[in-house]
Structures are given as structure tokens and as C-alpha cells.
Chain A
Amino acid sequence: MNSYLASILIFTGINLISVLGMFLLMGLTGLLSFGQVGFMAIGAYVTAISYMRFGLPFGAGLLLGVGVSLLVGLVIGTVTLKLRNDYFALATYGFAEVIKNVLIYFSGYTGGSMGVFGIPAIVTLPMVIVIFLAALVLCRNFKVSKLGRNSLAIRNDELAAKVMGINTFKQKLLVFLFSAVFGSVAGSLLAFSTYYIEPNMFNWSKSVELIVIVFFGGINSLTGVVFAGMALTLLPEILHFGAEWRMVIYTAIIIVTMIYRPTGLFGRWELSLSQILGWIKGRRKSAVGRGGQGA
């Protein structure tokens, strides 16, 4: 495969992994978070520094990144998830900014605003695809089990959810941590596919991108966010949009979606295996039917 195409696909896959985390948090649970990019930064830097400085293998560094993200997530989540949802959104924005400033400040380890250079490109397209598919399966399991129902109930009416027996704080915290894992893994993969990382890669605009994807794809449709994630990551790459145009386009997408499809492009619609099998069967049948008529 053409290496330019491969690198775009790798980037898209990594983005999708992070988006899946956002889908659980923002789509299903209704928690708008600007913090996902912070966990991506943690994953990226922990993995890169432990590899470059301490010779830790990539896989171990990735797991270490997840561990650090979980710890940080536990602290942030415990403090902020008792707040009202709008304050939570603000607090996560602050968290991501703090992470960025920490990266710039502790330049002895992080290279400051210059970042970390010379990270080997260990990440391959098959690796990204396998991790993405695993993440997709976890998300699907989440959605169809009691976890998904609990989250949707919380998103729709938190008080009623509590009264129906859900420990809403615990559920929110678990989802927040789980989505942080997705972000962290995506960050680790990103670091080892781009040769260098710098604090500016983990800007608030990256969070906005993730949010727009979930919003556009459908806050209740896994199929929708995967589709939107692919479209909104691939298209700008292929069409070579500049960063400034991206924000304009994101804004336009949000406004148009809000006016015409407030539940997102796909709403609640999900593509299921049985549907796909149904289509294939239906096609075969009609093909056979046509063949029969012709004969």
C-alpha cells in the first residue's frame, strides 16, 4: 500500500479509537468533555518518554500510560463529576489546559514546547485496525448491556435514573475512566506513528474535533460516530484543508446538524450483523430470482 495512504488510515484509526471513548462519555452518558485530549497527551508522553529515556518497550509503555491516565482520571473525575454537567465540561477544559502547561513546564523530560523527537514508527496499520476493532467490540458490549441503559437513562433524566436505582456518580466515573483509557491508548499509538509529539498537538481544537464527530454522527449511534469519524478525519486530509478552515467547517456542521438532525446524522440507528446478513441474503435471493426468470 502507498505509504501516504497508510499513514492517513493509521491516523484515522487512531482518531476513531479516541472518538469511541468520547461516544461513551458524551454520546451515551451525556457528559460533554474537553478532557479527552488530555488523556491522549498523557498516553503519548508517558509511552514516548518511557521508551526514549528508560528503554521501556512500546507495549509496556502503552499500559503504563493507561495506568497514569486512570490515576489522573480518578482524581479529576472524583472532583468534577459531582458538579453540574456544564461545570464538568468547563473543568475538563481546564484539566486539558493544565496537562498542556505541565508538558511545557517540565521541559527536562518533555522537551517543553519543542516536544519529543525521533520516536520510532512502531505502529502499523494492521495494529491500529486490530486495536480499533477491539475497542469497537467493547463499546458495543457497553451499549447493549445494562451499562448502556444506565448511561442513556442518566443522559435523559439523572434524577429519575437515581430513583430507579442507579448510582449515577459511580456510573459516570466508570465511563469517564473507561473513555480515558481509549484516549490514552490513542495517544500512545499517535506518538509512535508520527515521529514526534508536541504539546500543541493536544490543543482544545482537538477536543472540539472529537466532540463534533460524535455530535455529527449521532449521539446514540455507534455506527454513526464511526462513519462520521472516518468522514471527518479522512476528508480534510485528502482535501488538504488548513487548520483555520477546519474550525469553520466544524462550526457549520454543528449548526446544520442542530437545525436539521438534532439527534445526529444517524440518530439511534445501528448497523447490526443480522441486518448485513439479511441484505446479503436478500441480494442473493433477488439475484437468483432474476437469473431464474432469465432462464
Chain B
Amino acid sequence: MKEQPKTLLQMNNVTMRFGGVVAVNGVNINLSEGRLAGIIGPNGAGKTTVFNLISGVYDPVEGDIRFRDQVISGKSPSEITHLGIARTFQNIRLFKGLNVFDNVKMATNCRTEYSFMEGVLGLPRVWRQEKESAAEVERYLELVGLLGYENTWPENLAYGLQRKLELARALATKPALLLLDEPAAGLNPTEIRELMDIIRRIHKELDMTILLIEHHMDMVMDICEELWVMNFGKVIANGDPEHIQREPEVLRAYLGS
């Protein structure tokens, strides 16, 4: 008999409106710990908005979101990151003023303990922690295949590498839950295969729960253990990929029949 996995993230009847647009409409999501899961759905379905709600960029107008049984809706993005949720952005948002190395290193800041005063005085604890962070950064850069690019400016990286850098930056906050918003968008088939391997490795080796939004159906069907399908702000189906592929509502949403 298998033990019932614990729920890590729970969205209860969550609604988000922008003016007259109901971007997310009464969404329920129950994500178990340790899953590699996905959200799919046509453009404008409300997928990114779901991520914005989980990460605290927006507060839902109705419903609540729980992470490890703690209500997180209403908390600020930085508080939520400290609780253990990290994300990437669909439209890449790297820090142009920081090089590749520092883009990842800044994400370790939420775990460094020294204070403002210690920092400006340059006390020994600062240097110890800076060194530890630097070693971590190298590990994450290695994991996504960006070793050797430390001193490059992010805007000078090829598009595929920028996506990988976003991934490394999110990892560096050491999240329990990783949200990836269309990580394969704009990548070529070789890059997508590479990315899938990286995501699998992260899931296994770093023991993270991963929720990703994706357009590439074959990729989603291949790596995700569970899927939510969204259309017009609503979840229209939930289950494992084989089950989803046979749902008539999903076929209608995708094939327009």
C-alpha cells in the first residue's frame, strides 16, 4: 500500500478579475508534494495569472491559496519566496545590471543572514556567507549548463540560455515548489529536449515539486505526471496525461470542435 502524498499547494475557489475581464474564475488546484505537474490551455486562458496569484504578484478577489496548510494569499511576493515558492517569468525578466553570476547570486540573498550594518562594515560573517553563496551559484549554473558564462551580461546571452538563467535564478532561492511559466517558449527542438532533461534532474535530484505551464503538448505529455487544463479562466479538466487526452472538453478547447 502506498502512503497518501501530502498536499503542498491548494487553491480554493480562486477568482481574479481585471476590470471586466475574469482572468481566473473559481479555480481549484490541489498539488501534492513531490509532483511534476503542468497547466495547459490556450492563450489567454489564465495560466500566467494563476502563477501571479500563487507568487503574490496579485491578491485574489475571491478564494484563498494555501501552501503547506498556511494561507499565503495576501502575503507579499518576497514573503512567499521566503516560504519556499520560486518562479520564472514567461516574458524573461533577468536583471540587466547584474552579470550571469550575480543574477543567480542575488537569489541566494533571501537566505543570507547578515544585516545591513554587517554588510556595509564588511564583517567576517559577510565574507563567509558570500563564499558559501558563490559555491552554490556555481552548482546551479552547472545544473542548467551555464558554467563559463559567469561574467556575461544576460542581454548578451542567446535566448535559450536566458531561459536557463531564469531557471537557475529561481532554483537559487532553494524553493520547495518551483513554478515555470512556459520554460520552453522560443526554444528549438534540441534545446527543448535538453530542458526536459534538466527539469527531470531538478525534480529528482533536488527533490522539488514542480508546476509548469506549457504550450508544447508533446513535452507536457512526456514529463508531467498530472495536468490541469484551463480555458476561459476555468479548470476544465484535471488528471494524468492519458486521461486528459481523452477528455471531450479538452479536445473541444484545443481543436475548436
Contact = CB atoms under 8 A, between A and B. Distances in A.
A26 B213 CA distance: 37
B89 A141 contact: no
Interface in A134-155: 137-138, 141-142, 145-147, 149-150, 152-153, 155
B106 A146 contact: yes
B109 interface: yes
A168 B93 contact: no
B81 A163 contact: yes
A129 interface: no
Nearest to B105: A149
Nearest to B102: A149
B163 to A, nearest CB: 15
B82 A147 contact: no
Interface string A146-185: 1101101101110111111111100000100010000000
A92 to B, nearest CB: 21
Given A141-B120, A147-B120, A163 B87 contact: yes
Contacts, number: 97
A233 interface: no
A165 B98 contact: no
Contact of B116 (A147, A157, A163): A147
Most buried by B among A138, A142, A157, A162: A162
Nearest to A145: B119
A164 B173 contact: yes
B169 interface: yes
Contacts of A174: 116
Given A149-B106, A160-B89, A168 B119 contact: no
Interface in A193-241: 220
Contacts of B106: 146, 149-150, 152-153, 161, 164, 166
Nearest to A138: B120
Contact of A149 (B57, B87, B109): B109
Nearest to B123: A141
Counting contact residues on chain A (CB < 8 A from B), the size range is 20 to 34
Given A146-B106, A149-B102, A165-B107, A160 B120 contact: no
Given A138-B120, A157-B93, A164 B98 contact: no
Interface residues of B, number: 35
B104 to A, nearest CB: 10
A47 B211 CA distance: 58
B60 interface: no
Contact of A168 (B78, B86, B114): B78
Contacts of A145: 114, 119-120, 122, 126, 130
Contact of B82 (A142, A149, A165, A178): A165
B98 A166 contact: no
Most buried by B among A142, A146, A161: A146
B78 A166 contact: yes
A263 to B, nearest CB: 9
B92 to A, nearest CB: 10
B241 interface: no
B121 interface: yes
B111 to A, nearest CB: 8
Contacts of B78: 162-168
A157 B97 CA distance: 10
B183 interface: no
B187 interface: no
Contacts of A166: 78, 106, 109-110
Interface in B129-155: 130, 133
Contact of B93 (A137, A160, A220, A268): A160
B232 interface: no
Contact of A164 (B81, B96, B133): B81
Contacts of A142: 119-120
15 contacts: A137-B122, A138-B121, A142-B120, A149-B98, A156-B98, A157-B93, A162-B78, A163-B57, A164-B110, A164-B173, A165-B173, A167-B76, A168-B78, A174-B116, A268-B97
- Of all A-B residue pairs in the complex, the 8 with the closest CB atoms, nearest first, are A165-B110, A165-B81, A141-B122, A149-B106, A162-B77, A160-B93, A145-B119, A146-B109
Given A156-B96, A166-B109, 11 more contacts: A137-B122, A138-B120, A142-B120, A146-B106, A147-B116, A152-B98, A153-B106, A163-B55, A164-B86, A165-B81, A166-B110
Interface of B: 55-57, 76-78, 81-82, 86-87, 89, 93-98, 102, 105-107, 109-110, 112, 114, 116, 119-122, 126, 130, 133, 169, 173
